C-alpha cells in the first residue's frame, strides 16, 4: 500500500476547489454471484426490458456484454442511504423531506372503533402513505414535487436561481441529491439539466444467454369428466383454463446468462462537474463544492446490498476497493478511501461542510412533510414538458 496516497484534508480541498486538479475519482469492483466461486463461470439474471429482453451488446470482436444494473437503477439503490431510517451517516447531512400521498383512518383507535365510517379527520392516529424526496425517481424535478403546493415554490425558486444566476446553493440546501445524482427539470419552468456527480453501472463481460422451461401441473387430470365439462362451459370466451390455473401450462423464456468474463461495477465521481457548480459568491462556491464532494464520496464508498433481483444476488470479490485519482494527463494514482482513518476523516469533513448548509435549511423554515395535491397533479397533466417538446 506504499504507493497509495493517504487521504488528507488538503487533498479533499484540492479535489473540491482546484480548477486544474484531477478530473475524476474512479473505482472498479469485481462482483461474483453468491452461488459462484472466483475463477468460475457465473450464472446471473440481468434486468428484463420491454420489447428487448436482456440488454446484451455484441462488440466488434464478438464479445457479448450484458447490462446487469443501469446507471439510474444504481442511483436508486444508493440514494436510500440518505434517509433517516437507513442509519447511514449520510442521513445526518441532508434535510429530510416527505410527501404525503394520502391518509387513511387507522381503524384501531377509539374514534375509529366508535364511528360507523371512520374518517382521517377524527382518527387519533391516521396512517400516511408517503414518499421521501430520496425515493422519487426524478428527485426535486419529480411530478410529485410539482404536485405539492407547499414544497413546489421553494424548489421552483431554486431551479430558477440556477437558471438565471448559476447559483446551485438554494437547490443544495433543500434537495442536495438532485445535484449528486443529477436531474432534469423537464416539468418545471427552468428546464435545467444537471449532470451526475456520482455515476455507477454494472456490466457483465463475455456472456451467453440461457433459456428456461417450466411446467405447471394443475389438478386437471384429477377431475372427472363432468367437472371438466362444467369448467369449460363456465370459461369466458377467449380465455384459457390454464390462465385461471385449471389446466397444465408449459412455459419457456429467458433463463439468465452465463458469464465467462468478469461482472464489474464501475463507480465514478465527476470532479469537473463538481467544480462547475457555483454559489452566490466565492466563499459560498467553496462551501458548496466541499459539501457536495463530501456527499459524493460518502455515497460512492457505501457498500450497498447487491441483491439486484431474483437470480441476481451478488457479492464483492475483493477485500478492498482500489480507488484511483484520475489526472488530466498521465497515469492514475491509488488513494486510500478504505481505511478507518480515511472513513473518520471523511465523516468529519462532511460534518464541517454541512454546517453552513444546515443553517440555510433552518433559515428556509420548510416543513418536513408536504401534502400531494390531486388538483395540482391534474393541472400538471395538461402541461407540455421539456421532454415532450423535444
Q: Worst-scoring range by mean pLDDT, 172-186, 222-236, 297-311?
A: 222-236
CA distances from residue 278 to 166, 167, 169, 177, 282 in whole angstroms, order as listed? 6, 5, 7, 16, 8
Q: What is the pLDDT of residues 344-358, one digit of tens each?
A: 999 999 999 999 999
Query: Has residue 249 got a pLDDT over 90?
Result: no
Query: Has residue 127 got a pLDDT over 50?
Result: yes
Q: Assign 1 a pLDDT band (cuts: 50, 70, 90).
A: very low
Query: Has residue 242 got a pLDDT over 80?
Result: no
Q: What is the pLDDT of residues 357-381, one digit of tens each?
A: 999 888 888 999 999 999 999 998 8
* pLDDT at position 219: 79
How far is the C-alpha of 318 from the C-alpha of 24, rounded, in Å? Answer: 22
* pLDDT at position 388: 53
Residues 6+ apart with CB under 8 A from 39: none
Q: What is the mean pLDDT of the chain?
A: 92
DSSP conformational letter for 175: -
Burial category of 351 from C-beta neighbours within 10 Å (exposed 0-12, middle 13-18, buried 19 and up): middle
| Residues 28/300, Cβ–Cβ less than 8 Å | no
* pLDDT at position 386: 59
> For a pLDDT cut of 90, what percent of the chain falls above it?
73
Q: What is the pLDDT of residues 162-218, one digit of tens each?
A: 999 999 999 999 999 999 999 999 888 789 999 999 999 999 999 999 998 766 677
Alpha helices, H only, the chain: 9-17, 71-78, 110-114, 143-146, 152-165, 169-174, 177-180, 225-234, 271-275, 282-300, 340-364, 374-381, 386-389
pTM over 0.95: no
Q: What is the pLDDT of residues 174-188, one digit of tens each?
A: 999 999 999 999 888
Amino acid at each position: 500500500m506504499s504507493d497509495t496516497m493517504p487521504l488528507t484534508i488538503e487533498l479533499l480541498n484540492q479535489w473540491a476547489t482546484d480548477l486544474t486538479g484531477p478530473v475524476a475519482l474512479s473505482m472498479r469492483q469485481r462482483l461474483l454471484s453468491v452461488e459462484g466461486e472466483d475463477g468460475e463461470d457465473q450464472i446471473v439474471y440481468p434486468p428484463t426490458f420491454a420489447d428487448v429482453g436482456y440488454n446484451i451488446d455484441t462488440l466488434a470482436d464478438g464479445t457479448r456484454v450484458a447490462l446487469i444494473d443501469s446507471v439510474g437503477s444504481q442511483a436508486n439503490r444508493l440514494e436510500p442511504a440518505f434517509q433517516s431510517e437507513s442509519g447511514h451517516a449520510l442521513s445526518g447531512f441532508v434535510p429530510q423531506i416527505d410527501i404525503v400521498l394520502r391518509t387513511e383512518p387507522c381503524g384501531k383507535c377509539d374514534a375509529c372503533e366508535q364511528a360507523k365510517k371512520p374518517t382521517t379527520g377524527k382518527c387519533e392516529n391516521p396512517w400516511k402513505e408517503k414518499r421521501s424526496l430520496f425515493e422519487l425517481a426524478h428527485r426535486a424535478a419529480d411530478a410529485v414535487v410539482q404536485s405539492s403546493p407547499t414544497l413546489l415554490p421553494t424548489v421552483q425558486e431554486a431551479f430558477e436561481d440556477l437558471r438565471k444566476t448559476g447559483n446551485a446553493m438554494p437547490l443544495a440546501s433543500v434537495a442536495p441529491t438532485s445535484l449528486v445524482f443529477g436531474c432534469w427539470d423537464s416539468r418545471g419552468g427552468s428546464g435545467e439539466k444537471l449532470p451526475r456527480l456520482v455515476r455507477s453501472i454494472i456490466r457483465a463481460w463475455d456472456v451467453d444467454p440461457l433459456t428456461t422451461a417450466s411446467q405447471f401441473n394443475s389438478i386437471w387430470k384429477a377431475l372427472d369428466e363432468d367437472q371438466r365439462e362444467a369448467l369449460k362451459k363456465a370459461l369466458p370466451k377467449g380465455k384459457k383454463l390454464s390462465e385461471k390455473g385449471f389446466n397444465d401450462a408449459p412455459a419457456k423464456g429467458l433463463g439468465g446468462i452465463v458469464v465467462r468474463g468478469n461482472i464489474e461495477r464501475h463507480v465514478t465521481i465527476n470532479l469537473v462537474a463538481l467544480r462547475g457548480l457555483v454559489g452566490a459568491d466565492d466563499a459560498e462556491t467553496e462551501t458548496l463544492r466541499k459539501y457536495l464532494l463530501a456527499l459524493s464520496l460518502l455515497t460512492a464508498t457505501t457498500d450497498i446490498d447487491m441483491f439486484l433481483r431474483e437470480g441476481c444476488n451478488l457479492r464483492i470479490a475483493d477485500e478492498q476497493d482500489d480507488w484511483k485519482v484520475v489526472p488530466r494527463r498521465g497515469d492514475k494514482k491509488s488513494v486510500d478511501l478504505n481505511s478507518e482513518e480515511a472513513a473518520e476523516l471523511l465523516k468529519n469533513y462532511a460534518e464541517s461542510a454541512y454546517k453552513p448548509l444546515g443553517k440555510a435549511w433552518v433559515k428556509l423554515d420548510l416543513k418536513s412533510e408536504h401534502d400531494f395535491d390531486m388538483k395540482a397533479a391534474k393541472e400538471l397533466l395538461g402541461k407540455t414538458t421539456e421532454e415532450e417538446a423535444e
